A and B are shown apart, each in its own frame.
Chain A
Amino acid sequence: MFDFFIHVASIACLYGVLALSLNLQAGFTGLVNFGLIALFGCGTYGAALASGMGWHPLLGLPAGIAMAALLGLFYARLGRKLSSDYWGIATLSIAEIIRISITNEQALTGGAQGISGLPLLFAGLKPYDGMARLALYVVVLALVWLFCQRLVKSAFGLSMKLMREEPQLARSLGYDLDRIRRVVMLVSSAIAAFAGFLYAHYLTFVGPDQLVSPETFLIWSMVIIGGVANNRGVIAGAFLMQFAMAYVPFIKDALELPTDFVAAARLIIVGGGLLAFLLWRPKGLFPEKVGGSNGR
């Protein structure tokens, strides 16, 4: 049971990093990205390709970040022409195109079978390897949180929020919205790819099933339930959602429910949780602290 707890907490930390990435885009800047999972996938496949080509595993990180940066810049470029809702649909479509391409490509990505055999971090530290990995993920989550906090409290963070609140007014004050969008997409894409890199070396397997669009909506539910534009809140949302989903099988066993219940209950947790919070607590568990020229 303790190992299971370590496992769930490890995954929650990585989802927390992803939630922070989405929060920079959607929460603080108003960029409604439904294709976040593709940026995460750049990190997972960066790790897998480095491993498959016999490179040092750490080289998978810059490779993944470079791919995510390119994709993030492409998303940002689309944002110049498309309004917010159409941009969201476009990012979802691009993420699906990438996933389907990966599924149908064999030589580089291993197709639907994916790529396995990636090195597990701290494998030599058994039986304490799980705790060592969790410690690393906690440190990474804390550092990413600190970085995001500093960013959103900076002058640039204020410009992100002005763009979210009144984009045309922000332009009339000299803010270059294209530049803000580009920088936010670059930074958040790198964060998402970092999470993907760690995830790939945690599961030691990478496949297109990890990039399905419901994963994006799971991250969205973490952000909305935790508190849009509140970095502490989205981490809380990630842990809450991850633990709620992980413990569904135990509830099934306790109540002697059929196995189908697990998948259905997880969907209900994500969809129902999103709906409930949007209806009754749209600002989430930890609402944004609004106002202040220091970007809070």
Chain B
Amino acid sequence: MIEAKDIRAGYGDGADILTGISLSADRREIVTILGPNGCGKSTLLKTIAGYVRPRAGSITFGGTDVTAVPIHEKVRHHKVGYVPQTDNVFGTLTVAENILLGARQLAKTEKEKRFAALMDQYPALAGKKTRKASALSGGERQILSLARALIAGPEILLLDEPSAGLSPLMMHEVFDAIGAIRDSEGMCILMVEQNAFEALGIADRAYVLSLGQVAMTAKASDLLEDPAMRKLYLGGEVHAE
């Protein structure tokens, strides 16, 4: 579904942050991108999403070349949903208005049907749909931004640190919701995360980045059980059994 080959990217005239990264992700799969701060995780996701144009390499979605396609066109024409890390809701709009922003291209009846389905799926939002999004907690905002991305029925979902700034309880709720999306909707989910153990708990595969390159790729379950990996990249001592 997502195929990125030999991606080199950076900001402005600065040095390359990504120095030749290749990755892939399929339908019904959660692929997580892990690594220490500054390794290029978010830049990679932004490049795949279309915020940053790669300096070299290619990106395809379902076989279609989207290397130079900006984010707004990917969302409108390539069935992509993107959930940013922070500033992910419009605080002055209500919960319902926020969600419906993601459904601008749908017919009215389809929009209403999907909105009702999302309200059933996320009862915490249903109870607050007329409230301003600025009144929601961090976890509720993250769920709201997920729901907004889902209403258009994307085939690819890009998540930038969905657990950023959340309490452990809320983090579990958000990860449960992401896992449920993969299982029920069957979409391809690419997720950048800092909380490696939580992310590996729901992911199918993972790429571990270091200094703008892929240092390791493996099944999530294998990475979780690899003591060397835990020590090197995942803060293994903390969670060692």
Contacts and interface: CB of A to CB of B under 8 A. Distances in A.
A176 B70 CA distance: 9
B76 A174 contact: yes
Given A169-B90, A174-B75, 18 more contacts: A161-B92, A162-B101, A168-B51, A169-B84, A169-B88, A169-B89, A171-B51, A172-B83, A173-B72, A173-B104, A173-B148, A174-B72, A174-B104, A174-B105, A176-B72, A177-B72, A291-B97, A293-B101
A290 interface: yes
A12 B202 CA distance: 63
Q: How many of chain B's residues touch chain A, expressed as a range?
A: 20 to 34
B98 to A, nearest CB: 9
Contacts of A293: 93, 97, 100-101
Contacts of A168: 51, 84, 87
A252 B134 CA distance: 50
Given A162-B90, A168-B84, A291-B94, A173 B101 contact: yes
B128 to A, nearest CB: 15
A172 B97 contact: no
Contacts, number: 56
A54 interface: no
Interface residues of A, number: 18
Contact of B92 (A165, A172, A174, A175): A165
Contacts of B71: 171-172
Nearest to A179: B72
A166 B141 CA distance: 15
B82 interface: yes
Interface of A: 155, 161-162, 165-166, 168-169, 171-177, 290-293
Most A CB within 10 A of own CB, among B75, B91, B92: B92
B87 A173 contact: no
B72 A292 contact: no
A166 B72 contact: no
B171 interface: no
8 contacts: A161-B92, A165-B92, A168-B51, A173-B75, A173-B101, A174-B73, A174-B104, A293-B100
A177 B50 CA distance: 14
Most B CB within 10 A of own CB, among A168, A172, A174, A290: A172
Contacts of B105: 174
Contacts of B83: 172
A45 B23 CA distance: 58
